[in-house]
């Protein structure tokens, strides 16, 4: 339980170690403003990082080297107050490198499949059997879930199917928002239901469960994770009824053309055009 004395101790420790001012909200406000102006996400976030680094040097007495070190290795402080230390002692880029490297590897693998023509063969094989939008949505959800089962990682199950199916959605004239929803449902949301997956392992550890030996009853959390397994079913239901399944807008089509995005081509009967 928090007491007023503990709150005062936390406040005093923060004031002793940091310059507290409303100006400290400036980096977050910059990111929010750029987001409202619909600037691309990466430049917007980077602008917030630049403003935050400048604020740290101007008001917190940090050097440019320290700012770069915090960005790479994370910030570290010892105030002897666990609430503050647990909140502020976080890693930088290196703490996320496992995730970043895995996504880069997945995208590189997708690029290799695309360059060698393997991705096109996979797309043509899928499309020769699935000729409707609803079927394509089911295929994207299923592929993301299958990748989860085989690779055991939710990041790969989002990145790889996303790279595989995006030309199909563009060729069918549907917004890639539908694909984003499909891989999210089959990848991220289904991840906690797979015990050997990173998401499942986290859930089992967080709940203090075990699945070794005769403890398989602990997997009964799976049917209780309603959001995880009902979301894909609802998404597929929407796809078959055509609800919340937007076609590509003119702006999105222009973006595809200007960026040179890969667009699969199909005949009138839905069969893929051979390259």
CB 200 within 8 A of CB 194: yes
**Per-residue pLDDT tens digits of the chain, which is 275 residues long:** 557 777 787 788 788 888 888 888 899 999 999 989 888 888 898 899 899 989 889 888 888 888 888 888 888 888 877 777 787 787 788 877 776 776 677 667 767 776 777 766 776 677 677 778 999 999 999 988 988 887 777 877 888 888 888 888 998 889 999 999 999 999 899 988 888 777 787 787 777 776 655 666 777 888 888 999 999 999 999 999 999 999 999 999 998 988 888 887 766 655 556 55
Q: How many helices (H) and strands (E) does the chain have?
A: 14, 0
Whole-model pTM above 0.75? no
CB 56 within 8 A of CB 48: no
Strand partners, 272: 266
**How many other C-beta atoms lie within 10 A of the C-beta of residue 211?**
15
Alpha-carbon distance of 140 to 144, in angstroms, equals 6
* DSSP single-letter state for residue 266: B
Alpha-carbon distance of 58 to 238, in angstroms, equals 52
């Amino acid at each position: 339980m928090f007491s007023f004395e503990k709150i005062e101790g936390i406040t005093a420790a923060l004031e002793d170690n940091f310059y507290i001012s409303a100006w400290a909200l400036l980096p977050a406000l910059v990111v929010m403003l750029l987001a409202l102006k619909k600037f691309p996400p990466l430049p917007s976030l980077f602008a917030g990082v630049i403003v935050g680094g400048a604020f740290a040097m101007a008001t917190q007495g940090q050097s440019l080297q320290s700012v770069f070190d915090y960005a790479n290795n994370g910030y570290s402080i010892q105030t002897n107050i666990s609430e503050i230390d647990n909140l502020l002692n976080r890693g930088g880029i290196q703490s996320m490198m496992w995730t970043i490297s895995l996504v880069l590897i997945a995208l590189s693998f997708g690029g290799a499949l695309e360059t060698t023509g393997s991705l096109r063969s996979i797309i043509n094989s899928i499309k020769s059997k699935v000729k409707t939008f609803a079927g394509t949505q089911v295929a994207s959800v299923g592929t993301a879930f299958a990748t989860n089962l085989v690779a055991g990682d939710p990041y790969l199950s989002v990145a790889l199917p996303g790279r595989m199916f995006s030309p199909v959605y563009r060729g069918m004239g549907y917004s890639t928002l539908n694909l984003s929803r499909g891989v999210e449902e089959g990848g991220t949301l289904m991840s906690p239901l797979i015990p050997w997956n990173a998401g499942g392992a986290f859930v089992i550890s967080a709940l203090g469960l075990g699945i070794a030996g005769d403890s398989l009853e602990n997997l009964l959390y799976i049917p209780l994770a309603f959001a995880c397994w009902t979301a894909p079913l609802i998404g597929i239901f929407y796809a078959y009824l055509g609800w919340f399944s937007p076609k590509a807008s003119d702006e999105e089509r222009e973006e595809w053309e200007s960026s040179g995005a890969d667009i699969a081509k199909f005949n009138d009967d839905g069969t893929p055009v051979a390259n």
